[in-house]
Structure 1
């Protein structure tokens, strides 16, 4: 499992660790890991041209010390100082002792923009590698004009970019990008992941992410702000029938979905549910004939949720049209309920808040915006903030769909992030499959947080398997779920 901690938590942990270590030891650990990652990306260090974009404080210090290590291995290292008056003195001295040079500000006392910007740009354009050490994890807002101009030159150069701790211009805590930011090919982060490295839109700027162990694990708190499950974590969550299992002991999931206009939503939700580990699927709604024609093992009823028979969880809303009555009836049930699509629009949200059984809401950005009363663009720009607000506002677990899916737990405040998906999953009906899958996991006994997290992981993996670089339909994704399940369990 990958875990991420806020800037405040990381800073406190660093202070605690530095109190135990010799002065400068933590920075040297970071610099060593950064230099090793740069060397691996370069392939051949000797004779290569490396440009350091150096800001102030510890981030700049990490960059300069790493540059010194590369210079001692024969690289031609040039540093561009964006804040010469606040440069890390020890790091700059180490770089110069190793044979590195300062470009643009020959004395090290002038900003690059004020002294030889043409020379700086020429150096960047000829670089084999650029190291972004402009702003550290404490930075907020977009890049300042001078840094923005240099980032543009870097992009023009086409040289690979390594970001130090996180790309400059992105928010470490929220994943927001408020203006211009550096786009990295590789981000080398220290001690622990930062939330912004795992959450879009900032994740798109980070490239590949490498975590360098500097010893923070022994002083970080047990509970992170953000988690990202991996294969082993999901495998541990997935239900597995025992020798005494029958279809009822494995859980029964009810699907209240579809309408005369959208019968396919019912079929797709059932397809996801049948592959989610529950022992049986009950369907309630007007699309019973379509469901039975495709999945004859489904238990179909047209008498409404109350008369459908016992279930351990309900899924309500996919393709429901204007059937508010069915949504209300499902919300009265004293079992876990997943609300998706039209159900999010039709549900009495006061009832949702007061439910005692677990509730899992699965909006996309547009639906989340409507629930929060904001513009869609606001949700997309601040996904982590939005999912936390939704969970708190509706006292429900919330799965916010997107290129990185976020699942927020209202009780603990924990957020899980999933990035197993593919852009090919942006297809009609894909969300219906996800709802059925997550509902089935709920019926199997998983908590709303675990069911949403595991379903998002499997659904994303199935999307990759189904697409394999080409368009795929929602039914293809459903068909690929067993393969994703087996891959995770292996």
Structure 2
């Protein structure tokens, strides 16, 4: 499992570690890791040039000390000092002693034009509110170079992004690689900042023992998901494995029912009950489904419900959602089921509730606008979880899962833009609902479902459709479980 910690937590851990080390030892560890990462990106066989973008403080110091290490290896290093009087003095002395050069920001165009690699050491994890004009000009200069320009290595965090929230206010430097120290920061895993980070490489500087057991953000990895996947035991039958109910679709949107049922059948539960007007279409595609035309409460016993995909906006849709909310089992609400949802009605439920909005639906639930949600995804998912007293899976370029009452926010690492296709969310809803019925805790079900869904989106033939994503899910299960078996045998 990959973990990320807020700036305040990282700095507190650094203070404890610093007290036990000789002066400068921690920065030396960081600079060594940074220099090694830069060296791997430099071309061979000819003179190589590196440009350091150096701001004030320790972030600029890391860049300067790393530059000194590169200069001692024969690399031509020039540091562009954005604020010369506040540049890290020891780092500056080390660079000059190693043969590195310094220049002012007015020389940036020429220095960057000759560079094979740029190191972004302008602002560190404490940067807030966007870049100052001089730094913003450098970011725009590198942006104009585009793919023809040199690769950019960010020191700890790309300058201009918020380490804690993943927000980006104005210009920011776009990195090819971000070398972060001690622990990942939330902004490196959450859009829009994640888009600026490129590949993220964590350098161990000895901080882990000083960090708290509970991180602020977590991302499941393959082994974590494989361990959570429900497996039938020798005494299992279809009912003991869990039964998920699906209340989805309408005369106008019958396909939503088919897709949600498909996702549910691939989610690990033993059976799927469908309640709604699209039964004929569901049976034609999935004859193993238990279908009823009446209200959900008369469909038979289930261990979870999925409601909302394609139910439309007529009075019957609201009655369907209310009927499901009255059930004393975990309920997942998606799509049309989220329209006009009453927070107090959800908070009053004794069983767990999972909401799965996209940014537009989240904005409606929060009384804001879509752009605001997309700019502050981490803050938005936390607000929704608290407002509704529910686990919230916020879909999008970075899928986030938050629970009410705090605790780590889960970020899904497997998403792909190919999942931005009609009906994909319906498949995800059925999948997560089935994991709930199989006995996973709400946060685990949401995070595991998002992970499987993302892998299926990658595995499905390009361009992916909701149908091909569903078809890819069994292979995703097989790959994860097979890898676990091979690992245990080894």
Residue 406 (str. 1) matches residue 400 (str. 2): yes
How far is the alpha carbon of 1:151 from its aligned partner? 1.7
CA distance in 2, matches of 1:154, 1:398: 37
Match of 2:115 in 1: 127
Match of 2:308 in 1: 317
How far is the alpha carbon of 1:437 from its aligned partner? 0.2
8 Å contact 1:328–1:348 — kept in the other structure?
no
CA distance in 2, matches of 1:410, 1:44: 52
Moved more, 415-424 or 224-233: 415-424
* Number of positions where the alignment pairs a residue of Structure 1 with one of Structure 2: 476
Match of 1:481 in 2: 473
3-state DSSP class of the match of 2:171? coil
CA distance in 2, matches of 1:156, 1:45: 28
CA deviation string 1:257-299 (max 9, x = no partner): 0001000000000000000000000000000011011100000
8 Å contact 2:220–2:413 — kept in the other structure?
no
Match of 1:5 in 2: 5
CA distance in 1, matches of 2:232, 2:87: 61
3-state DSSP class of the match of 2:455? helix
Map 1:152-231 to 2 at 5 A.
152-157=140-145, 158-231=149-222
3-state DSSP class of the match of 2:267? coil
Residue 343 (str. 1) matches residue 331 (str. 2): no
Match of 1:471 in 2: 463
CA distance in 1, matches of 2:405, 2:282: 36
How far is the alpha carbon of 1:103 from its aligned partner? 1.4
Match of 1:108 in 2: none
User: Alignment RMSD, CA only?
Assistant: 1.0
CA distance in 2, matches of 1:462, 1:64: 44
How far is the alpha carbon of 1:152 from its aligned partner? 2.1
Moved more, 470-479 or 410-419: 410-419
> Pick from 299, 323, 326: which aligns with 1:329?
323
Match of 1:27 in 2: 27
3-state DSSP class of the match of 2:179? strand
8 Å contact 2:140–2:171 — kept in the other structure?
no
Map 1:19-418 to 2 at 5 A.
19-44=19-44, 47-104=47-104, 112=105, 117=106, 119-157=107-145, 158-322=149-313, 323-418=317-412
3-state DSSP class of the match of 1:243? coil
Give the TM-score of the pair, scaled to structure 2.
0.96
CA deviation string 1:88-141 (max 9, x = no partner): 10000000000001013xxxxxxx3xxxx1x33101111000000000000012
Structure 1: tracts of 5 or more residues without a match: 105-111
How far is the alpha carbon of 1:42 from its aligned partner? 1.0
CA distance in 1, matches of 2:137, 2:169: 16
3-state DSSP class of the match of 2:460? helix
How far is the alpha carbon of 1:324 from its aligned partner? 0.5
Give the TM-score of the pair, scaled to structure 1.
0.96
How far is the alpha carbon of 1:47 from its aligned partner? 2.2
Segments of 4+ in structure 1 off by > 4 A?
Answer: none
How far is the alpha carbon of 1:83 from its aligned partner? 1.3
